[in-house]
């Protein structure tokens, strides 16, 4: 009888990784039904594992039935069932024992013999599934390693590859009785005639012996020999197109960079493209001048230069415009948007016609919302349109006229917001030009849900004097941040602090942005110093930062908040970047009289080659370069 006893278990009394409102016996039986099996396996994976982090009490209860399904050819999705088992075993291997269901170790012990037997199954996808699950074994890794060696060589290349990589993963858990045999086996494969096998054995050996020299030539030779399809692999890229990227990302940083340098000189376009991808990933984490130089040398030889051009554009600055020639050469081709962005950030006048065309037509070629992602790679690979425009203040005289039609209340919201965001950044240095748009900004105030127009008027200050009456009429209206922005803009335009104090003061606990605006009132806000001192001690980084910065602006005393502002920079050196670090650098640049210890931290940040940004993609590079420029400028006044 299949799944004997499954109906006798009180599944509703057990914990699950997701909702737990599923019919477990029905899902298990669906694994036998063509057309239902894959969906059932997927739902079981979600309910039992979801995002990992703990092994639920339902896991040991269901494991015998999953093993029954994995072992019987009658079931239609045995590799998918083995994935569930492997992911549960992987979670058990990485979390603290208190997050593992009490019955899991015993259930795993009973499952291991069946998993070992599946190493000899006729289906290579089942064999690789069993290898994956067994590679997570923490109870008796020696037995697993011996079984993998005893089955060598498998007739299937996916299984051979996974065997080597699994042994590399197991190595740190092996006893001295088994580890030498495993290391010797992997070294034999590294020195063997099969370039593909030697490459993956090299990766396995690098995992088994971290911080030891790696046979880089074997990696390069294996990639140059051409990828081999691995349709059943759970450790390596199944699709040949992904092989080089996957292999490169498995290497330690130093080795990866050296291999990338070699691959950028390879004639094979696929290898070059993979190297460019990994170079982008590396440059998100660290400054690597050699990689950037190699990229510059090969960009014109690439079949698709766009990814390399994006990396170069992300580094563009007026003070470092060495790439304007190669960027300008692509202004009329498929990479025109990238070229335009890079030239704009370089301050090169050749960007102006393209920017004007895009503003006029509204067809920007860029996202209208800023995108942020973690440091998982060079993504997002392009900035938003507002981010492209923000450094373009010197061209304000030529561009603001084209902004006007897009600032009407009936214009496209997202484009309008992007333009207002750019104007806010321009107002500090190009107030006279931005002030030409004050009539349009006034007309927007009644229709600007998030008060972006008020933000521009406030940034203009007295240059926006004709907006005073409308801002006065709107005082105290709106929801969220809107009343705060109206009150702050009114103060900035008129110089009258009373309405802003009346509106901002009671809201100081609502949002850290209120502290930011309150600080702009300077000494007028001195009555709020005691409250801001308390908020500067908050655990929330943004709340503490804005309160500390406000204290310095209100009192003029760096001792009131500099120790809070410097904290995110010190944490950069500890490898703990936070989004507030960029704001801290901007704030500290305007603070004189900093203690010598604070200046020393700034120098250490500049000497550290890590990317000083919480984010990945373009932002990691652009924020790091801006932060370094700000700290360099501040230290020049020390």
Would residue 239 count as lying in a domain? yes
CA-based nearest residue to 151, from 138, 167, 140, 139? 167
Would residue 531 count as lying in a domain? no
% of the chain beyond a pLDDT of 90: 96
Would residue 616 count as lying in a domain? no
Would residue 358 count as lying in a domain? yes
Average pLDDT, the chain: 96
Q: State whether 235 and 314 are in the same domain.
A: no
Q: Cis link prior to 153 (omega < 30° from 0)?
A: yes
Domain end residue (candidates: 416, 450, 482): 416
**Residue 463: both structure tokens together:** 């240059």
Q: How confident is the model at residue 262 (pLDDT cuts 50, 70, 90)?
A: very high
Q: State whether 465 and 358 are in the same domain.
A: no
On whether the CB atoms of residues 267 and 273 are closer than 8 A, the answer is: no
Q: State whether 168 and 22 are in the same domain.
A: yes
Confidence at residue 450, expressed as pLDDT on a 0 to 100 scale: 87
Q: State whether 160 and 226 are in the same domain.
A: yes
Number of separate domains in the chain: 4
Confidence at residue 376, expressed as pLDDT on a 0 to 100 scale: 83
Q: State whether 189 and 113 are in the same domain.
A: yes
Confidence at residue 43, expressed as pLDDT on a 0 to 100 scale: 97
Q: Residue 500, SS3?
A: helix
Helix, strand, coil content of the chain in percent (nearest 5):
70, 0, 30
Separation in Å, CA 91 to CA 40, 69, 85, 137, 476: 21, 21, 10, 11, 53
Q: How confident is the model at residue 638 (pLDDT cuts 50, 70, 90)?
A: confident
To 10 degrees, what angle do helices 512-519 and 482-494 make?
0
* Cα–chain center distance at 454: 32
pTM: 0.88
* Per-residue pLDDT tens over the stretch 354-372: 999 999 999 999 999 999 9
* Per-residue pLDDT tens over the stretch 416-450: 999 999 999 999 999 999 999 999 999 999 888 78
Block residue for tokens 């390399």: 308
- For the chain, the maximum distance between any two Cα atoms, rounded to a whole number of angstroms, is 86
Provide the Cα torsion 185, 188, 189, 193; round to 10°: -160
CATH number of 96's domain = 1.25.10.10
Q: State whether 46 and 145 are in the same domain.
A: yes
Q: State whether 201 and 297 are in the same domain.
A: no
Q: State whether 400 and 264 are in the same domain.
A: no
Would residue 404 count as lying in a domain? yes
Angle at 520 between CA 516 and CA 521, to 5 degrees: 125
Confidence at residue 449, expressed as pLDDT on a 0 to 100 scale: 77
Would residue 194 count as lying in a domain? yes
Residue 286's domain comprises: 252-304
- Give the pLDDT mean for 321-349: 97
Domain end residue (candidates: 505, 524, 546): 505
Q: Distance between CA 307 and CA 277 in Å, rounded?
A: 7
Confidence at residue 448, expressed as pLDDT on a 0 to 100 scale: 80
Confidence at residue 392, expressed as pLDDT on a 0 to 100 scale: 98
* Per-residue pLDDT tens over the stretch 380-425: 999 999 999 999 999 999 999 999 999 999 999 999 999 999 999 9
Q: Distance between CA 527 and CA 372 in Å, rounded?
A: 38
Would residue 165 count as lying in a domain? yes
Q: How confident is the model at residue 225 (pLDDT cuts 50, 70, 90)?
A: very high
Q: Distance between CA 415 and CA 369 in Å, rounded?
A: 9
Confidence at residue 468, expressed as pLDDT on a 0 to 100 scale: 98
Q: State whether 134 and 46 are in the same domain.
A: yes
Confidence at residue 156, expressed as pLDDT on a 0 to 100 scale: 98
Q: State whether 499 and 382 are in the same domain.
A: no
Q: Is the pLDDT of residue 570 over 90?
A: yes
Confidence at residue 76, expressed as pLDDT on a 0 to 100 scale: 86
Angle at 173 between CA 156 and CA 232, to 5 degrees: 20
Block residue for tokens 């997002």: 380
Block residue for tokens 């300077």: 522
Q: State whether 86 and 207 are in the same domain.
A: yes
* Per-residue pLDDT tens over the stretch 173-193: 999 999 999 999 999 999 999
Q: State whether 225 and 291 are in the same domain.
A: no
Q: Distance between CA 636 and CA 592 in Å, rounded?
A: 12
Domain end residue (candidates: 416, 439, 471): 416
Would residue 603 count as lying in a domain? no
* Cα–chain center distance at 169: 26
Close Cβ partners of 45 (under 8 Å, ≥ 6 residues apart): 80, 83, 84, 87
- Give the pLDDT mean for 222-229: 93
């Amino acid at each position: 009888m299949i799944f004997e006893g499954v109906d006798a278990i009180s599944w509703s009394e057990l914990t699950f990784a997701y909702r737990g409102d599923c019919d477990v016996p029905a899902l298990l039986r669906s694994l036998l039904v063509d057309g239902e099996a894959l969906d059932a396996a997927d739902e079981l994976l979600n309910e039992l594992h979801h995002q990992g982090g703990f092994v639920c009490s339902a896991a040991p209860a269901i494991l015998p039935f999953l093993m029954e399904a994995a072992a019987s050819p009658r079931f239609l999705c045995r590799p998918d069932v083995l994935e569930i088992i492997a992911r549960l075993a992987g979670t058990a291997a990485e979390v603290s024992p208190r997050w593992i269901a009490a019955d899991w170790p015993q259930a795993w012990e009973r499952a291991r013999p069946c998993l070992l037997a599946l190493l000899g199954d006729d289906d290579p996808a089942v064999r690789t599934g069993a290898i994956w699950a067994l590679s997570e074994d923490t109870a008796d890794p020696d037995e697993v390693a011996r079984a993998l060696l005893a089955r060598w060589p498998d007739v299937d290349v996916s299984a051979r590859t996974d065997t080597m990589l699994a042994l590399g993963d197991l190595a740190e858990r092996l006893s001295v009785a088994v580890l030498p045999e495993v290391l010797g086996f992997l070294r034999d494969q590294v020195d063997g005639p099969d370039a593909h096998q030697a490459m993956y054995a090299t990766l396995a050996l690098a995992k088994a012996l971290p911080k030891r020299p790696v046979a880089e030539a074997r990696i390069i030779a294996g990639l140059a020999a051409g990828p081999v399809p691995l349709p059943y692999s759970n450790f390596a890229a199944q699709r040949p197109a992904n092989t080089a990227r996957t292999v490169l990302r498995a290497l330690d940083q130093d080795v990866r960079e050296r291999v990338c340098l070699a691959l950028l000189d390879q004639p094979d376009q696929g290898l070059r493209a993979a190297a460019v991808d990994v170079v982008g990933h590396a440059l998100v984490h660290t400054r690597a001048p050699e990689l950037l130089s190699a990229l510059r040398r090969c960009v014109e030889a690439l079949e698709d230069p766009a990814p390399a051009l994006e990396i170069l554009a992300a580094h563009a600055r007026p003070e470092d415009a060495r790439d304007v020639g190669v960027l300008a050469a692509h202004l009329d081709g498929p990479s025109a948007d990238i070229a335009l962005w890079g030239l704009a950030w370089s301050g090169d006048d050749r960007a102006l016609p393209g920017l004007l065309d895009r503003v006029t037509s509204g067809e920007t070629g860029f996202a209208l919302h800023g995108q942020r992602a973690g440091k998982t790679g060079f993504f997002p690979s392009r900035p938003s349109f507002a981010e492209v425009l923000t450094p373009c203040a010197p061209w304000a005289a030529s561009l603001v006229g084209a902004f006007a039609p897009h600032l009407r209340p009936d214009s496209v919201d997202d484009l309008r917001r992007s333009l207002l965001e750019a104007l806010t950044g321009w107002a500090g240095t190009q107030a006279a030009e931005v002030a030409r748009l004050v009539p349009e900004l006034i007309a927007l105030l009644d229709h600007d849900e998030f008060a972006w127009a008020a933000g521009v008027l406030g940034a203009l200050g007295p240059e926006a004097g004709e907006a005073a009456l409308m801002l006065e009429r709107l005082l105290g209206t709106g929801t969220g941040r809107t009343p705060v922005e109206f009150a702050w803009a009114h103060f900035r335009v008129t110089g009258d602090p009373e309405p802003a104090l009346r509106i901002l003061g009671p809201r100081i606990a609502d949002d850290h942005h209120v502290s930011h605006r309150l600080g702009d009132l300077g000494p007028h806000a001195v009555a709020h110093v005691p409250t801001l001192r308390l908020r500067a001690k908050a655990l929330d980084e943004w709340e503490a930062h804005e309160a500390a910065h406000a204290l310095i602006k209100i009192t003029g005393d760096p001792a009131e908040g500099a120790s809070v502002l410097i904290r995110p920079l010190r944490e950069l050196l500890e490898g703990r970047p936070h989004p507030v670090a960029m704001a801290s650098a901007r704030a500290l640049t305007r603070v004189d009289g900093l203690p010598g210890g604070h200046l020393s931290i700034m120098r250490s940040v500049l000497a550290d080659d890590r990317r000083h940004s919480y984010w990945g993609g373009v932002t990691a590079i652009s924020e790091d370069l801006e932060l370094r420029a700000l700290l360099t400028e501040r230290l020049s006044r020390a």
